[in-house]
Amino acid sequence: MATQLLQAQKLALLEKEILRLKKPQVLIIDELGYVDFDTQASQLFFQVISARHDARLGLVVTTNLNFSQFNQIFANEAVATVVVDRMVNEAEIFYLEGDSYRKHQKTMKNKLKEK
């Protein structure tokens, strides 16, 4: 998503890209934090989150990081704070512990092969 936003900004199509990301009733962002954002990408990501928040649209985010670690994802603490603020406002937060589902899936596949 960050790459698409950066490209749209270069092509002067940022507004159109943000509108596209506002279309779905629910936007799913999987593995937030897997890739760090530079200053520009952080600000663009915030614009999307803020636009969806203001429009009261759904957002599902998965991450392996605690909110206190979001300053590791975004270029600075201020952006991390406002992104978290918008994401958790009126949110249902689920903390899951345990092995990765992918790891579990692989184990099950291996067991089936052994039979």
Hey, where are the domains in the chain? 2-114
Grade residue 115 by pLDDT with cuts at 50, 70 and 90: low
Type and span of the H or E element at 45: helix 39-54
pLDDT of residue 3 exceeding 80: yes
Model pLDDT for residues 43-71, shown as the tens digit of each residue: 999 999 999 999 999 999 999 899 999 99
Helices 39-54 and 2-10 cross at an angle (nearest 10°) of 100
What confidence score (pLDDT) does residue 20 get? 96
Plot region of 66 (φ>0 → left; ψ -120 to 50 → alpha; else → beta): beta
Quote the pTM value. Answer: 0.82
Q: Say which CATH class 2-114 falls into.
A: alpha beta
Q: If you average pLDDT over every residue of the chain, what do you get?
A: 92
- SS3 state of residue 79: helix
pLDDT digits (tens, 9 = 90+) for 67-112: 999 999 999 999 999 999 999 998 999 988 877 777 878 888 888 8
